[in-house]
A and B are shown apart, each in its own frame.
Chain A
Amino acid sequence: MASLKNSRALSLRIPEPRFRPGETADFSNLNISEAGVMPRPEVDTQPKDMRDLAYGLVRVLDKDGQAVGPWNPGLDIATLKRGLRNMMLTRVYDERLFRAQRQGKTSFYMKCTGEEAVSIAPAMVLNHDDMCFPTYRQQGILIARGYPIVEMMNQVFSNALDPMKGRQLPVMYSSKAHGFFTISGNLGTQFTQAVGWAMASALKGDDRIASAYIGDGSTAEGDFHHALTFAGVYRAPVILNIVNNQWAISSFQGIAGGEDAPFASRAIGYNLPALRVDGNDFLAVYAATQWAMERARSNLGATVIEHFTYRAEGHSTSDDPGRYRPAQEAKLWPLGDPIERLKNHLIHLGEWSDDDQQALHAELVELVRAAGKESESHGTLHAGDRPSVKTMFEDVYKEMDWRLIRQRQELGI
């Protein structure tokens, strides 16, 4: 068997992004389909007959702001404007809370800048009682569903009216009433839970579906694969969204294996249909969610959607993206910005203008400023009112047992 001996020393590939700080990013290597070219299969198409959609890119808005092709959801003007407003409100909200963290009013914050469409379009497609299992970067769902901005801020400030009673890291919201599952900082766990929730809904003959989110980095977690296994095996009514924003803190998506095959293509081995979608195209995300929702509601099972987008800001307030990627990378992102693109679409339709945009922006800044003022009047992390310390011992169990009662006494409250 000596002939099988390898004459060369083995070597290992350690993926590295193509550009680092100080270099100029160049995305010309990305294989980006033209808007309108990807076919829209019928929702009952067999996954094996639509594999190309895992490798292409569903896009509706072209560079001129026109909506083109079979995926154009044909939305009315009011819906388009609502989408634009929700996305802009989310961005203005993020900017204010980010500043609040820098001012020491909270410990931590996470923006979703550049990714607003990925949460807001699906939230507008789904019913409000369809349960979303978000990561920490889908605050847009709450905003689209009308959760009060002041309450969101109360959570971020851990103040006296914090609905999470000061127990959760900022941005880890929860609202069953808004179909928004309690966010976990343990990445990936919600993906399996969403499948379980959807299985429960189907077992009970309910009509609600689930929608789960995971990041490109966390697709490497076991939970991602458990979720796809169970969703495939039991044909659960769930939408499995992968938000590929290119970066997992400082690790580019190639570290999770995204360079060799698109994350959407992970679905193929589970016989789940996969859509790879321009995540900065509000209309494409909207249409893809409609397609997946119709499948789920028709007992055809789960759909995996990869939203191809870009995290335009740092991971959180705790990292400086300038230390691991070129400073101009966000500006050079070839799929642009979701707000700009939807705005241009409305302008193209003759329904909007730059002046309208500026006026709406000013209105939202004022709305968020007023909400901030109200929220801060109930306290911020280190100043003013906060939830009663006594509540720290509640909700560990439905009923407090002797241990917690004693420990609360020990704390002297």
Chain B
Amino acid sequence: MNKPITKPTAATEAPETIKMNMIQAINSAMDVMLGRDPDVLVFGEDVGYFGGVFNATEGLQKKFGLNRCFDTPISEAGLIGTAVGMAAYGLRPCVEIQFADYIYPGYDQIVSEAARLRYRSAGDFWCPMTIRSPYGGGIFGGQTHSQSPEALFTHVAGIKTVIPSTPYDAKGLLIAAIEDDDPVVIFEPKRLYNGPFDGNPDNPVTPWQKIEGNDVPVGHYVVPLGKARIARAGNEVTVLAYGTMVHVAIASAETAGVDAEVVDLRTLSPVDIESITASVKKTGRCVIVHEATRTSGFGAELSALVQEACFYHLEAPIERVTGWDTPYPHAFEWEYFPGQKRIGAALKRVMEA
């Protein structure tokens, strides 16, 4: 009560940071938000006592109680549908879909319901719901633990689609998503949970804890939705990437000896058109990289946007390096995965064009 106002010292001004891996950062985001906002709750399959199959919700039930973090039946449609109802009530549910590959039973509730409550009710109801889900390959997960279904969500008006590539962004974007008043789907690159991945499975993974500059604030902060970041500055070619592919693209530029600018989109919908345009106009070349199948993938949208905005600045055709148009094949992980070899070749092709 009526404490004398003291000037904060320099030490308390800078936020406290620690090294976190991506799972710890995601856990920290939910921890912070459960603590700040009594309307936030976390639920999903195995997320309660057990703390999630990837430990993303570890300790949250113990800290905040059963009412704030609990297990659900194995029913993606049920847990997303109930989350829509809770969000319409006024809560901010943050639910986990154990693997992105399992999200399809809940697709109707996302596309026909969550995405449209605000529009169809003319603002009478809305849906501040966040869906987190590990996505992507590189872990020998086969067809049902490796998919990248982001384009199925970027195509839908009314939801936002987010994919982080670092622990700092994962936490800041997840907090932004939970605080957002519209439904947000966050796909987490599970191959990056423990450390960055350069696309070469023979190289040992360096844990995030040993990555220089990987300092994550322990408290609340936001990475705004809809803003890309330059993951590697360069002048010769722009690489548009997100999630795991950001790190593979950076490594590919190094090994191919091409001065690529790697733009980490962070939010796919709404995408940061200004950052994309600025970079492509500067470099005059563009390579788009994603793990998902090529046809009607998010790369197709990016390619269209780039030619619409930058056609007269382009010195070479836009290239796409993607997963093939097949289901994710278990034994052919590295033939399917767009690795350094394919990305490097594309970088060289656009430089020679």
Chain A interface residues (CB < 8 Å from chain B)? 131, 133, 163-165, 167-168, 172, 174-176, 181-182, 184, 186, 189, 191-201, 203-204, 210, 222-223, 226-227, 229-230, 233, 394-398, 401-403
Compute how far the CA of A175 lies from the CA of B124 in the bound complex, rounded to whole angstroms.
7
Compute how far the CA of A397 lies from the CA of B84 in the bound complex, rounded to whole angstroms.
16
Contacts A226-B78, A401-B270; A200 near B85 (Cβ below 8 A): yes
Q: Which residue of chain B lies nearest to A164 when distances are taken between CB atoms in the complex?
A: B122
Q: Are A182 and B84 in contact (CB-based, < 8 A)? A: no
Residue B105 is within 8 A (CB to CB) of chain A in the complex: yes
Residue B330 is within 8 A (CB to CB) of chain A in the complex: no
Q: Which residues of A lie under 8 Å from residue B12 when comparing CB positions? A: none
Nearest-neighbour CB distance to chain A for B155, whole angstroms, equals 12
Compute how far the CA of A345 lies from the CA of B303 in the bound complex, rounded to whole angstroms.
70
Q: Which residues of A lie under 8 Å from residue B109 when comparing CB positions? A: 189, 192-193
Q: Are B158 and A186 in contact (CB-based, < 8 A)? A: no
From 80 to 124 in chain B, residues with beta carbon under 8 angstroms from any chain A beta carbon are: 81-91, 105, 108-109, 112-113, 117-124
Query: 24 pairs across A/B with beta carbons < 8 Å?
Result: A163-B122, A167-B119, A182-B124, A184-B112, A184-B120, A186-B108, A192-B78, A192-B82, A193-B81, A194-B85, A195-B82, A196-B84, A196-B89, A197-B85, A197-B88, A200-B91, A204-B89, A227-B81, A229-B73, A230-B79, A395-B118, A395-B119, A395-B123, A398-B182
Compute how far the CA of A394 lies from the CA of B119 in the bound complex, rounded to whole angstroms.
7
Beyond the given pairs A164-B121, A175-B124, A203-B41, 14 more chain A to chain B contacts, judged by CB atoms under 8 angstroms and listed by A's residue number, are A163-B122, A172-B120, A182-B121, A189-B81, A189-B84, A189-B109, A196-B82, A196-B83, A199-B85, A226-B78, A229-B75, A230-B72, A230-B82, A398-B182
Compute how far the CA of A200 lies from the CA of B91 in the bound complex, rounded to whole angstroms.
7
Chain B interface residues (CB < 8 Å from chain A)? 41, 67, 72-73, 75, 77-79, 81-91, 105, 108-109, 112-113, 117-126, 157-158, 160, 180-182, 226, 270, 273
Q: Are A222 and B77 in contact (CB-based, < 8 A)? A: yes
Q: Which residues of B lie under 8 Å from residue A203 when comparing CB positions? A: 41, 67, 86, 91
Q: Are B112 and A182 in contact (CB-based, < 8 A)? A: no
Q: Which residues of B lie under 8 Å from residue A229 when comparing CB positions? A: 73, 75, 78
Q: Are A230 and B73 in contact (CB-based, < 8 A)? A: yes
Compute how far the CA of A344 lies from the CA of B273 in the bound complex, rounded to whole angstroms.
68
Q: Are A184 and B270 in contact (CB-based, < 8 A)? A: no
Contacts A184-B113, A200-B91; A168 near B120 (Cβ below 8 A): yes
Nearest-neighbour CB distance to chain B for A134, whole angstroms, equals 13
Q: Which residues of A lie under 8 Å from residue B90 when comparing CB positions? A: 200
Q: Are A165 and B88 in contact (CB-based, < 8 A)? A: no
B84 touches which of A193, A201, A403 (Cβ 8 Å): A193
Q: Which residues of B lie under 8 Å from residue A133 when comparing CB positions? A: 85
Contacts A196-B84, A197-B88, A396-B157; A230 near B122 (Cβ below 8 A): no
Q: Are A197 and B89 in contact (CB-based, < 8 A)? A: yes
Nearest-neighbour CB distance to chain A for B61, whole angstroms, equals 14
B122 touches which of A165, A195, A233 (Cβ 8 Å): A165
B85 touches which of A196, A204, A398 (Cβ 8 Å): A196
Contacts A196-B89, A197-B88, A402-B270; A226 near B157 (Cβ below 8 A): no
Nearest-neighbour CB distance to chain B for A235, whole angstroms, equals 13
Q: Which residues of A lie under 8 Å from residue B181 when comparing CB positions? A: 398
Q: Are A182 and B117 in contact (CB-based, < 8 A)? A: yes
Q: Which residues of A lie under 8 Å from residue B91 when comparing CB positions? A: 200, 203-204
Q: Are A181 and B88 in contact (CB-based, < 8 A)? A: yes
Q: Are B89 and A200 in contact (CB-based, < 8 A)? A: yes
B77 touches which of A194, A210, A226, A401 (Cβ 8 Å): A226
Nearest-neighbour CB distance to chain A for B115, whole angstroms, equals 9
Q: Which residues of A lie under 8 Å from residue B86 when comparing CB positions? A: 196-197, 199-200, 203
Nearest-neighbour CB distance to chain A for B180, whole angstroms, equals 8
Candidate in B73, B109, B124 with the most chain A CB atoms within 10 angstroms: B124
Nearest-neighbour CB distance to chain B for A229, whole angstroms, equals 5
A397 touches which of B78, B81, B113, B118 (Cβ 8 Å): B118
Listed from nearest, the 5 A-B pairs whose CB atoms lie closest are A196-B85, A192-B81, A196-B82, A226-B78, A193-B85
Compute how far the CA of A141 lies from the CA of B82 in the bound complex, rounded to whole angstroms.
23
Compute how far the CA of A197 lies from the CA of B126 in the bound complex, rounded to whole angstroms.
13
Q: Are A192 and B120 in contact (CB-based, < 8 A)? A: no
Compute how far the CA of A167 lies from the CA of B91 in the bound complex, rounded to whole angstroms.
26
Q: Which residue of chain A lies nearest to B159 when distances are taken between CB atoms in the complex?
A: A397
Q: Which residue of chain B lies nearest to A403 when distances are taken between CB atoms in the complex?
A: B270
Q: Which residues of B lie under 8 Å from residue A233 when comparing CB positions? A: 73
Q: Are B67 and A182 in contact (CB-based, < 8 A)? A: no
A401 touches which of B81, B123, B226 (Cβ 8 Å): B226
Compute how far the CA of A313 lies from the CA of B257 in the bound complex, rounded to whole angstroms.
73
Compute how far the CA of A175 lies from the CA of B89 in the bound complex, rounded to whole angstroms.
13
Compute how far the CA of A66 lies from the CA of B166 in the bound complex, rounded to whole angstroms.
72
Nearest-neighbour CB distance to chain B for A46, whole angstroms, equals 22
Contacts A192-B78, A227-B78, A395-B118; A174 near B85 (Cβ below 8 A): no
Q: Are B75 and A226 in contact (CB-based, < 8 A)? A: yes
Contacts A401-B270, A402-B270; A195 near B85 (Cβ below 8 A): yes
Q: Are A189 and B89 in contact (CB-based, < 8 A)? A: no
Q: Are B121 and A193 in contact (CB-based, < 8 A)? A: no
Q: Are B182 and A397 in contact (CB-based, < 8 A)? A: yes
Compute how far the CA of A397 lies from the CA of B184 in the bound complex, rounded to whole angstroms.
11
Q: Which residue of chain A lies nearest to B126 when distances are taken between CB atoms in the complex?
A: A398
Q: Which residues of A lie under 8 Å from residue B77 when comparing CB positions? A: 192, 222-223, 226
A167 touches which of B122, B125, B180 (Cβ 8 Å): B122
Q: Which residues of A lie under 8 Å from residue B158 when comparing CB positions? A: 396-397
Candidate in B82, B113, B126 with the most chain A CB atoms within 10 angstroms: B82
Q: Which residue of chain B lies nearest to A387 when distances are taken between CB atoms in the complex?
A: B122
Q: Which residue of chain A lies nearest to B128 when distances are taken between CB atoms in the complex?
A: A398
Q: Which residue of chain B lies nearest to A210 when distances are taken between CB atoms in the complex?
A: B85
Q: Which residue of chain A lies nearest to B38 when distances are taken between CB atoms in the complex?
A: A204
Q: Are A193 and B119 in contact (CB-based, < 8 A)? A: no
Q: Which residue of chain B lies nearest to A212 when distances are taken between CB atoms in the complex?
A: B85
Q: Are B117 and A230 in contact (CB-based, < 8 A)? A: no
Compute how far the CA of A202 lies from the CA of B189 in the bound complex, rounded to whole angstroms.
35
Compute how far the CA of A172 lies from the CA of B124 in the bound complex, rounded to whole angstroms.
13
Candidate in A192, A233, A396 with the most chain B CB atoms within 10 angstroms: A192
Q: Which residues of A lie under 8 Å from residue B182 when comparing CB positions? A: 397-398
Compute how far the CA of A395 lies from the CA of B88 in the bound complex, rounded to whole angstroms.
15
Q: Are A193 and B120 in contact (CB-based, < 8 A)? A: no
Q: Which residues of B lie under 8 Å from residue A175 when comparing CB positions? A: 124
Q: Which residues of A lie under 8 Å from residue B105 when comparing CB positions? A: 222
Q: Which residue of chain A lies nearest to B274 when distances are taken between CB atoms in the complex?
A: A402
Q: Are B126 and A181 in contact (CB-based, < 8 A)? A: no
Compute how far the CA of A198 lies from the CA of B82 in the bound complex, rounded to whole angstroms.
9
Compute how far the CA of A62 lies from the CA of B81 in the bound complex, rounded to whole angstroms.
41
Q: Which residues of B lie under 8 Å from residue A223 when comparing CB positions? A: 77, 81
Compute how far the CA of A200 lies from the CA of B127 in the bound complex, rounded to whole angstroms.
13
Compute how far the CA of A167 lies from the CA of B157 in the bound complex, rounded to whole angstroms.
14
Compute how far the CA of A132 lies from the CA of B144 in the bound complex, rounded to whole angstroms.
37
